[in-house]
Structure 1
């Protein structure tokens, strides 16, 4: 993986294909592309924002949703359900960062301060993902371009600690750059900003909310830094505004005009519908939502099409459909574990090598259609929709971060109030805000002052953005997720593998990074590059296992 800069040729068709920005064409002298030294920052911003949002959504809706047991797949499932991973590439992440670096450099050269602030926020967001997922990674020398006429293909790996420090410094700088009224900035073109339509105040809140995320991320290793950082932000709302309402979430809607601009795994551009059909709600999430009478369940999942009913009064050998239910005599079930819930049935995590066979599915296999397990809601078949958004950070997450901080005794407000606001904002996001009073009044939802309860509600609220739930699980151990019997290891993984090309091409630097990982009892034999080897962030914490 070459993590250095290259001389850019920026293609307009790539930069404007996701959203129509017809007025941008006037910024180009060449209709096909412009050299990096001349490109207008507004031509680069759409690519950075859209590609980052799509990447993050694909993580949180696909394999990471499997890790944190929001979903499971009943076919082509080994990566999603069982953590059968290898050679995970960060190339796409650095591609975005290279475009973002050009955005920043050109914004500096043109004195576009808004664009500088946006680029710093996105730099923090992308490098945050890289170090969260892999650990140590090229950072300070990753985007240095050509050195002495030779392309820098062997960048050093910075420590995870140093990367988090750099991220927080970038966000502090972005906060200052984004602090002015919109009228005082030059070069803003609203419709190239697919998150906030050129609103500096919204981006400033995004920057400071991300800072809260990363201060809490390092709280187990650098508690004094995290405490001081969070208290600084909370104590000065005028200087450090944050996202507090769901209408302020950092989101991107999908236009749905092509496969590449649509909600992932939709059945509009996948005519077979197989990608949608394979993803099922995990029983872990279904049962948690059912136990709480959670109104979000019906927004996220369909009721099971054909419930199972086991009736001891039926004659032996009975297996028939009656009034939309599959009626079974006990002998037809035997010792098979089944779920007879009449409304919602989730797929157990890492259930078996043939998860499509669950719940007596009559047609197991790669092309199976299981009528006895809940499908995702029909909205997830669509290419676009009001609820189909990439969500990079939310008011719900921010409030849960502050609830956790307050629970630690930090000056972050009232833990109960933030916990409740986190839930209320999540319910509002999913269109069931009117159910809040009834929901919060339940004994198993009402605030009890425990970290476990805060983290479980934060885990629920991260639906379709499950990556953050994985990172929270690693540092807290909550929710107390357990690997299923077919999983590659008996515990959940804690990092991605370094890609083989990096290990081969950049061997010395990659080896140095590997040597800093903590090999655990679950790491592969004689292989530090394991999804079960612990990076700096969780070394010595005893978490998550």
Structure 2
């Protein structure tokens, strides 16, 4: 996945023709083969910022956090994805701050040119990326970040407390809502084709700003419930002043152009022809598939292909044969496999997800045809074949959705924070997710199988709908403990992780005093294990401290 991500990034930079690279801590060096940011038109910066953000979301939401939230498992090179084998060299925020550097240039140009549309968008994108950073790591450079050109005082920026970062994000989004509230004719210098999210539509960006604010108010539900309630109530009571994304047609999505290797869906098998390539390594997880099967969820067929060779249990002994495209096996063969491998066989004729955090996941369902790492398993569910293509209408970089907005409102109504029936908001959220995945016509039947049942049903549907954006399910799980996910036998801790480590080379060594101060503000848990300090994936950041969640 890392190799694919690098190819994608390089191609995007070449396509847009803009890059900033640090020569050293005292000087910004402009790429002689790119466009000087000092003279670049503001519109040239926008697609780089948007697409790199989208790429980041796709990478983590369909990568690491998809494993944590048990949407997918890897059947090759699986330690980090399946078992949370993370450490202080596993994840760096350098790429996130690189996006913010470009966005800062975009913001400054917008302010200088009095381009209020661009300033509003810049504030949204700044909020989005800083939000990811603090959600994932905790305290981080914020107020003094991105200021190295001002001198040595900013080479090692202080880490702002997470609470202050969240407050800053919400203030930025409130300003963006105001900036984007004008009529279309009042904005200048918009080049619609350079906006790969909303084609220069300020009204949709305004909805994005407010929906993102709604997300962050609810992020604070367990830590600062009164503040979260007041913020959500303010928005829900004033839909004209604070319009939201409530229909899937307004979802903030970015398509993969698919015209070359670097701008294609990273899992495609057109350019990545390795039999053990990225697509081949990803399988659907049993946790998700079992729930989707229970509800006869129409999204399952959009996300997964049917099993190539189903297993059929037959009477007799010593039977293991292929008959008319099915593999017939007797109970003695099944029992021997299950006892030897501590893994249950799944006889569903259409879809079967692999067990989570299991050391022998590649041989799930008695796979003896291609038992090497990262290869085809004819007895398990593979990703839908659409993920083999370079581009597809449903394979998108998804930033925020109407489903999420409606389900946040459902939770707010459930908590008594806003008026209205939580069941109606819940149904709206489910409907918009089905529409987003092209199965909206199934809503009437589906909703009878998943009736509103309080908070558990709301969070479960958010968890399902966060397919390819599993980081949002992770953030919800941390504050609610829902869904009640269990680790598998190979997980390196008995509970799921709750943050990424500060990176030794990119963060600790370059800014040690400030990192150590931030680490001291973390709260150790009983699951720290072999970690030598509170810089652990099982330490609680501010937003979780004192909440009793997730453990």
TM-score (norm 2): 0.91
- The RMSD of aligned alpha carbons is 1.7
Q: C-alpha distance in 1, partners of 2:111/2:298?
A: 47
Q: C-alpha distance in 1, partners of 2:63/2:13?
A: 28
Does the 8 A contact of 1:12 with 1:31 survive in 2?
no
Q: Aligned-pair distance for 1:145? A: 2.5
Per the alignment, residue 465 of structure 2 pairs with 461
- Work out which of the residue numbers 350, 369, 382 in structure 2 matches 1:375: 382
Q: C-alpha distance in 1, partners of 2:12/2:304?
A: 39
Mapping 1:60-75, distance limit 5 Å: 60-75=61-76
1:50 to 1:13, Cα distance in 2 relative to 1, 3 A: closer
Matched, 1:447 2:452: yes
Matched, 1:358 2:364: yes
Per the alignment, residue 21 of structure 2 pairs with none
Per the alignment, residue 84 of structure 2 pairs with 83
Deviation sequence 1:459-494 (CA, Å, 0-9, x none): 111111111000000000111111111111111100
* 3-state SS in 2 of match to 1:458: helix
- Work out which of the residue numbers 498, 504, 508 in structure 2 matches 1:503: 508
- Work out which of the residue numbers 476, 483, 486 in structure 2 matches 1:472: 476
Per the alignment, residue 4 of structure 1 pairs with none
Per the alignment, residue 419 of structure 1 pairs with 426
Q: Aligned-pair distance for 1:217? A: 0.1
1:46 to 1:300, Cα distance in 2 relative to 1, 3 A: same
Q: Aligned-pair distance for 1:124? A: 0.3
* 3-state SS in 1 of match to 2:306: coil
Does the 8 A contact of 1:39 with 1:106 survive in 2?
no
Q: Aligned-pair distance for 1:325? A: 1.2
* 3-state SS in 1 of match to 2:509: helix
Deviation sequence 1:352-380 (CA, Å, 0-9, x none): 2x310111110312253211111111001
* Structure 1 unmatched runs, 5+: 1-10, 19-29
1:487 to 1:13, Cα distance in 2 relative to 1, 3 A: closer
Per the alignment, residue 144 of structure 1 pairs with 147
Matched, 1:98 2:101: yes
Per the alignment, residue 198 of structure 2 pairs with 196
Matched, 1:174 2:176: yes
* 3-state SS in 1 of match to 2:171: helix
Mapping 1:19-34, distance limit 5 Å: 33-34=34-35
* Structure 2 unmatched runs, 5+: 1-10, 19-30, 339-343
Does the 8 A contact of 1:15 with 1:46 survive in 2?
no
Per the alignment, residue 324 of structure 1 pairs with 325
TM-score (norm 1): 0.92
Q: C-alpha distance in 1, partners of 2:79/2:12?
A: 38
Q: C-alpha distance in 1, partners of 2:488/2:533?
A: 23
Q: C-alpha distance in 2, partners of 1:412/1:464?
A: 32
1:477 to 1:384, Cα distance in 2 relative to 1, 3 A: same
Per the alignment, residue 536 of structure 1 pairs with 542
Deviation sequence 1:437-470 (CA, Å, 0-9, x none): 111122xx1112x111100011111111111000
Q: Aligned-pair distance for 1:151? A: 7.5
Mapping 1:274-423, distance limit 5 Å: 274-311=277-314, 313-314=315-316, 316-335=317-336, 336=338, 337-352=344-359, 354-362=360-368, 363-423=370-430
* 3-state SS in 1 of match to 2:502: coil
